[in-house]
Amino acid sequence: MLNISFTNRVAIVTGAGGGLGRTYALELARRGAAVVVNDLGCTYDGQGVSRSMADAVVDEIKMGGGRAVASHDSVTTSTGGKAIVQTALDAFGRVDVLINNAGSLRNAAFDELSDDLIDQMIDVHLKGAFHVTRPAFRAMKEQRYGRIVMTSSAAGMFGNHQQAAYAAAKAGLIGLMN
């Protein structure tokens, strides 16, 4: 079996405090990458803030012999996106991999969607990817190497009951990726 190594690579994973993001961060670290574990520590529906989720993943990586730092910055602002990338540059001197995985899920019937819910889905999923990718891309372009992954969803391709805002944001990621 092919053994893919990320030795001497630096990865940023947004939304890495739990779920798929946590899995990505742990696997990248297991394969040798230094990892920036970015997470606000929100619940699956975007409520609350806690440093404990990102910190726990960092601790797990370090206990396994890996290198990692936490970022508690929000992907929903340009300032937050720049800070996330700067965390990688300050801690490890470069950024080679970015996995845009941050997200939340709030269900509502289409005719009951609030403007606030629509904004929250677009801000974290789609605008969040823009906010982190632009400074990461600049660093990757300067070093002439980098890989960017967008975590989308089947809901973005096919839709899903009570997930119009989520699906629209995830479909936007597909367009951005392309």
Catalytic residue from among 24, 44, 145, 166? 166
Tell me if 157 sits within 8 A of 171, measured CB to CB: yes
Q: Quick one: pLDDT at residue 36?
A: 98
- The answer to whether the Cα torsion of 29, 34, 39, 45 is positive or negative is negative
Cα–Cα distance, 11 to 133 (Å, whole number):
12
Place of tokens 């965390």: 87
pLDDT band, residue 173 (cuts 50/70/90): very high
Show Cβ contacts of residue 148 under 8 Å, excluding neighbours closer than 6 positions.
97, 98, 100, 133, 136, 137, 140, 177
Average pLDDT, the chain: 93
Write out the two tokens for 175: 């367009």
Q: Is it the case that residue 162 has pLDDT exceeding 60? A: yes
pTM: 0.94
23-57 CB burial, b ≥16 within 10 A, e <16? ebbbebbeeebbbbbbbbbbeeebeeeeeebbbbb
**Is 166 in the active site?**
yes
Residue range 59-112, pLDDT digits in tens:
999 999 999 999 999 999 999 999 999 999 999 999 999 999 999 888 899 999
Structure tokens at 89: 């540059």
